[in-house]
Chains A and B, each alone.
Chain A
Amino acid sequence: MKYIDEFNDPGLARRLLDEIRATVTRPWALMEVCGGQTHSIIRHGIDQLLPEEVELIHGPGCPVCVTPLEVIDKALEIASRPEVIFCSFGDMLRVPGTDRDLFRVKGEGGDVRVVYSPLDALQLARHHPDRQVVFFAIGFETTAPANAMAVHQARRLGLDNFSLLVSHVRVPPAIEAIMTAPACRVQGFLAAGHVCSVMGISEYPELAERHRVPIVVTGFEPLDILEGVRRAVHQLERGEHRVENAYPRAVREAGNPAALRMLEEVFEVADRSWRGIGRIPASGWRLTDAFRAYDAEHRFDVTGIRTEEPAVCRAGEVLQGLIKPTECSAFGTTCTPRTPLGATMVSSEGACAAYYLYRRMNGQNSQGAPAPRGAGIPQEEMNSVG
């Protein structure tokens, strides 16, 4: 396929890998911020191909994994109501709340639907004027403009049966939180290309300068990721810490002005909790007062739901590369992919889930061994029938 196959070329990948190998002289820890990049790294086995000096730490950039338990519980409460059609992106349906997930709500009679866009949910609101349609607005800066557009349209069309359950998060404050954490190991960032295609790159030079880390805006195809790694390693080896755009085919310095205008009109910056990490100042968005009427939390009066993360879970430290998953006391006992306590076990690509799968693949004693990443949710061994 034009413009995809070209970025998945084994010959070019080998050349980039050779160049990285020739450049690196000491260990470096890079964090890829975005879950989409993590997925691509796992899907193509990129982390196993890099020289061992280059460690990729999977960042907190999967919006599904970092949606706080409290917000999931609010979603479950709203989706259970008979008057509600609850619309969500597909992968949110299996993220566990305190005692169930959206699949379970659907199984118990809740009207839960997978949609591909908030505008699909808006259409449902037009076609079902007697029902309340709620869209689960999760994601980083990438999905936020379309969600803002949906609310904007709802107001323009006079649709008072449409609302958003908002759980938007912003990348730069997360980078700030990671860099200011005690014993932070991250020495360079692959910034999320799709986020930057909306926001531009103006928020990053100050971060790069203050924390003295290279930040390379990176795409999602294998060659994009290898090029991001190559540039980050190159800077680190030369003692530099600049912002570079290694994804110019999608990212302009100023971002997408129309999307930015839409965001500014509909959302305002707010503090936000991240599952497995905790509260990060100014790391989220909420609807502005002008659009508060479309806020499902207020409309369905679930603002009082307060759920604490299990204290035993150390996903936050795993996400920051401070500990290996196997160092957590809950790993493989009370916390498994079937009963995840934290973000890194919820996601099939999370570090804890990958270690869990690796342990299954190589017997039960891989404590501390480097884990090849695995896609898919590991399952317990099944008993034979009969």
Chain B
Amino acid sequence: MAELVSEAAPETVDPANWTCPAPLRDQPVVVMGHGGGGALSAELIEQVFAPAYGNPTLARMGDSAVLDLGGARLAFSTDSHVVRPLFFPGGSLGDLAVNGTVNDLAMSGARPAHLSAAFVLEEGVELRVVDRVARAMGAAAEAAGVTVVTGDTKVVEAGHGDGVYVTTAGVGLVPEGVDIRPQRARPGDAVIVSGPIGLHGVAIMSVREGLEFGVEVTSDTAPLADLVAAMLAVTPDIHVLRDPTRGGLAASLNEIARASGTGVRLNERAIPVPDAVVNACGFLGLDPLYVANEGRLVAFVPPTEADAVLAAMRAHPQGGGATLIGECVADHPGMVVVATGLGGTRVVDLPLGEQLPRIC
């Protein structure tokens, strides 16, 4: 054991040689949690990527960057997609590759227009598998109203990849008068989720781990740009949109709370969690709030607009299950608190890395 010092001696800080004392979780190597969408992912960005090429646009930490380019407001986003298995109930890697980037663009209020697709293929993968992924991407692009206009292919030696990786980037245009970003959350905002949560994560677990939950759970993967357009048609003054993918609703809400310096208070009984997700999470010791979604959004809207936005969402195929789940508050800035069904409260913190099944 290293000798422990119970009281740190005051130090003289040399500004010229000062480095951030926050440890990178004391990890000298990449661990799976760095890709989990939680605190480890955030630390990787803040301590490795931001110092290397940080800039004010990156610092906004939106799902996509909004750029003023040639007189247009361009939304730009990229997303890598790795999933095992490649095909799962309700979707495939191809669906995720398109919908993931389309939704990241939509979360800034943009109308997605064009995507790129870069494949990293492992030597030995059957071409019919690649063909299935590509066809799924084509169908998903058509459904989302975007075109895949450029791409790239690389092949790595057998054993140096996991079959097929796809990276997509996308661009779209943000309408005038729309300013959607996590920093705009305000106390009093209504917090709305577009439908039942946790379905994608449980669908993947059910096939990956060979677990049966009584009924087949299908992924919720879907493009959300059209739903966002329907919401913006009601009011351009939507403050924040986020698609709660890795890390689930908990990670998205924590990111918004921290970025805006506000708190979030949720009503647990209002959060729509399908029975199959409740059962699977109960069995595995997971919390549905941390489970990934691929076709849901969470919105912060001014209280005066909440009813109209909810009605518009419920009238749309992708928002039929839209629900008011809580509000943005001035208390406990940077933190998410849930009012439990029994009337108590609990803090829902940013996950560290990936959620782990509990033994106890």
Contacts and interface: CB of A to CB of B under 8 A. Distances in A.
Contact of B347 (A4, A107, A116, A361): A361
A377 B29 contact: no
Contacts of B218: none
Contacts of B23: 338-339
B13 interface: no
Interface of A: 1, 4, 8, 10, 13, 34-36, 39, 42-49, 61-64, 89-94, 98, 103-104, 106-108, 114, 116, 138-139, 143, 222, 307-308, 310-312, 329-330, 333-334, 338-339, 341, 348, 357, 360-362, 372-386
A308 B287 CA distance: 34
Given A10-B342, A333-B6, A375-B287, A104 B31 contact: yes
A258 to B, nearest CB: 22
Contact of B46 (A90, A104, A383): A383
B349 A382 contact: no
A43 B345 CA distance: 8
A85 B346 CA distance: 37
A48 B341 CA distance: 13
Contacts of B347: 357, 361, 372, 374-376
Contact of A333 (B8, B55, B342): B8
A311 B360 CA distance: 27
B349 A376 contact: yes
Nearest to A376: B349
A306 B27 CA distance: 24
B32 A106 contact: yes
B97 to A, nearest CB: 26
Interface in B256-273: 258
A330 B4 contact: yes
A380 B29 contact: no
B39 to A, nearest CB: 5
Nearest to B284: A116
A236 B249 CA distance: 43
A376 B348 contact: yes
A334 B278 contact: no
Contact of B360 (A47, A49, A62, A107): A62
B31 A107 contact: yes
Given A143-B359, A380-B22, A312 B4 contact: yes
B150 interface: no
B98 to A, nearest CB: 28
A172 to B, nearest CB: 18
A378 B349 contact: yes
Interface residues of B, number: 64
Given A1-B275, A35-B360, A385-B46, A49 B287 contact: no
A116 B348 CA distance: 25
B54 A385 contact: yes
Given A116-B284, A382-B46, A222 B342 contact: yes
B320 interface: no
A228 to B, nearest CB: 15
A98 B1 contact: yes
14 contacts: A8-B341, A44-B341, A45-B339, A46-B342, A64-B358, A90-B358, A91-B360, A92-B359, A107-B30, A107-B31, A138-B359, A341-B4, A361-B347, A377-B349
A89 B359 CA distance: 6
B357 A89 contact: yes
B359 A139 contact: yes
Contacts of B285: 91
Contacts of B20: 383
Given A46-B344, A338-B23, A91 B356 contact: yes
Contacts of A379: 39, 349-350, 352
Most buried by A among B26, B351, B353: B26
B159 to A, nearest CB: 13
Contact of B346 (A64, A341, A374): A374
A348 B349 CA distance: 10
Given A90-B356, A116-B357, A385 B58 contact: yes
Contacts of A35: 360
A103 B31 contact: yes
A45 B345 contact: yes
Contacts of B339: 45
B282 interface: yes
Interface in B315-344: 332, 334-335, 337, 339-344
Contacts of B343: 10, 13, 45, 49
A19 to B, nearest CB: 15
Nearest to B332: A361
A361 B346 contact: no
Contact of A334 (B5, B25, B341): B5
A47 B340 CA distance: 12
